C-alpha cells in the first residue's frame, strides 16, 4: 500500500496498519489488544490499573493469542515502583508508550533493552521536552479525546501542526479520530499513525458492559463533558446524571473513580464516569476490531485517492 511506504510508526512497531489502540485502564487487555493486533493494528496493554500481576499475565498471554504487533503503556505517575519497568525491559516487548509524567528516567533503561519509546503529550511544551529527552515518537493527545486531559483545551489538529512545525519526529494523532476520514485529516497535517480509544472501547471484543458501549454509540456530538478543569485530574467523559452533577459543581469528588469497574463491567453508568472522547458522536454501531480497522484503512485510501486526483487536476490546470 503505497500511502504507507516509508511510514516510521510501522517500521518501529512491525504492524501492517498505523492504527494504535489506546491504553485504557482495565479495558486494554489481551482480549481487545490481541483482536486489534491480529487485524493489523497495534494492540496496547495497559498498566494504569495498578494491577501489576494481572497486567504481567495479560502481556504474557498476548504471544499465545496473536502474532501481530503489540506494546505496553507505562503511565509514569501511576506506577508505584519500578517493578513494571524492570519487567518490561526483560519481557521481550519491543514497543512502549509512556504517559502521565516525564519519560526522562525511563528512556535510558527502555532503550538499553532495545525498546522503542513513544510518549503521550497533551501540550506543545511537553512535546518539545520529550523530544529533547530522546523519545522515538510522540502520541499527540488533543482536547477531543476521552480520559485524562489538559484543562487548556487545544485540538488535535492544531497541536499536531504546532509540533510538526518544530520537529520531524514521528507523530501519532490521538483525540477525535475514529475512522479513515479522521485518519486522513491527521495525516494531512503531519501524523504517521492514529490512536483510537473510544472507537475500540465500543468494539465487539472490548470487555466492557453493553451499557457502556451503547452509551457511546448513542451519544450525540456534544455528548461529553470536560470535568474538573480547575483541579486534577481533568477528564472528558460521557454526559450522564453523575457527570452533569460534577459539571454543575465544578469539582470532582475524591471518590469519583472508586466504583469505576461497576460502570465498566457492571453496566451501572451512574457508578462513576464513563470516559469517552468527542468521537463518540461519530460512532453509531458496535463492530468487531477487524471491521473497524478494515473500514478505517479503506476510508483512508478513498480520501487519499480523492486528494491525489484533485492535486493532479489542479497541477494539470496550472500547466
- pLDDT tens, 57-106? 999 999 999 999 999 999 998 888 888 999 999 999 999 999 998 898 99
pLDDT band at 1 (very low <50, low <70, confident <90, very high): very low
Residue 314's H or E segment, with its range, is helix 289-318
Whole-number Å distance between alpha carbons of 6 and 212: 38
Q: Which of the pair, 163 or 314, is modelled with greater confidence?
A: 163
CB 156 within 8 A of CB 178: no
Whole-number Å distance between alpha carbons of 187 and 203: 24
Q: What is the pLDDT of residues 253-299, one digit of tens each?
A: 999 999 999 999 999 999 999 999 999 999 999 999 999 999 999 99
Whole-number Å distance between alpha carbons of 98 and 119: 5
Residue-level pLDDT at 278: 98
Angle at 269 between CA 290 and CA 122, to 5 degrees: 65
Q: What is the pLDDT of residues 179-220, one digit of tens each?
A: 999 999 999 999 999 999 999 999 999 999 999 999 999 999
CA of 48: how far to CAs of 78, 123, 148, 232, in Å? 6, 21, 12, 16
Residue-level pLDDT at 81: 84
> What is the residue whose three cell numbers read 452509551?
215
As a whole number, mean pLDDT of residues 119-139 equals 96
Residue-level pLDDT at 77: 87
CA of 76: how far to CAs of 57, 102, 104, 194, in Å? 20, 7, 10, 22
Whole-number Å distance between alpha carbons of 15 and 19: 9
The set of cell numbers assigned to 256 is 469519583
The set of cell numbers assigned to 157 is 489538529
Q: What is the pLDDT of residues 139-172, one digit of tens each?
A: 999 999 999 999 999 999 999 999 999 999 999 9
Amino acid at each position: 500500500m503505497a500511502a504507507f511506504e516509508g511510514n516510521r510508526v510501522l517500521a518501529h512497531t512491525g504492524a501492517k496498519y498505523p492504527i494504535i489502540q489506546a491504553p485504557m485502564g482495565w479495558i486494554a487487555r489481551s482480549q481487545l489488544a490481541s483482536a486489534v493486533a491480529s487485524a493489523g493494528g497495534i494492540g496496547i496493554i495497559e498498566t494504569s490499573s495498578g494491577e501489576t500481576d494481572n497486567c504481567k499475565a495479560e502481556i504474557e498471554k498476548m504471544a499465545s493469542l496473536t502474532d501481530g504487533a503489540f506494546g505496553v503503556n507505562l503511565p509514569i505517575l501511576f506506577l508505584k515502583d519500578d517493578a513494571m519497568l524492570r519487567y518490561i525491559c526483560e519481557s521481550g516487548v519491543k514497543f512502549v508508550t509512556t504517559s502521565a509524567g516525564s519519560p526522562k528516567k525511563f528512556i535510558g533503561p527502555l532503550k538499553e533493552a532495545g525498546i522503542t519509546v513513544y510518549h503521550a503529550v497533551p501540550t506543545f511544551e511537553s512535546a518539545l521536552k520529550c523530544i529533547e529527552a530522546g523519545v522515538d515518537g510522540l502520541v499527540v493527545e488533543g482536547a477531543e479525546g476521552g480520559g485524562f486531559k489538559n484543562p487548556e483545551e487545544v485540538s488535535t489538529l492544531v497541536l499536531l501542526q504546532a509540533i510538526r512545525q518544530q520537529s520531524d519526529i514521528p507523530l501519532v494523532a490521538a483525540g477525535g479520530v475514529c475512522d479513515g476520514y479522521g485518519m486522513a485529516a491527521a495525516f494531512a497535517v503531519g501524523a504517521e499513525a492514529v490512536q483510537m480509544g473510544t472507537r475500540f472501547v465500543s468494539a465487539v471484543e472490548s470487555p466492557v458492559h453493553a451499557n457502556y458501549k451503547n452509551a457511546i454509540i448513542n451519544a450525540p456530538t456534544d455528548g461529553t463533558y470536560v470535568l474538573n478543569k480547575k483541579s486534577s485530574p481533568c477528564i472528558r467523559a460521557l454526559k450522564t446524571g453523575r457527570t452533569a452533577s460534577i459539571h454543575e459543581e465544578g469539582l470532582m469528588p475524591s471518590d469519583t473513580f472508586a466504583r469505576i469497574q461497576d460502570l465498566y463491567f457492571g453496566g451501572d453508568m451512574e457508578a462513576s464516569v464513563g470516559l469517552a472522547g468527542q468521537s463518540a458522536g461519530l460512532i453509531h454501531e458496535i463492530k468487531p476490531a477487524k471491521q473497524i480497522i478494515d473500514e478505517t484503512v479503506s476510508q483512508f485510501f478513498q480520501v487519499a485517492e480523492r486528494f491525489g486526483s484533485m492535486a493532479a487536476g489542479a497541477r494539470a490546470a496550472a500547466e
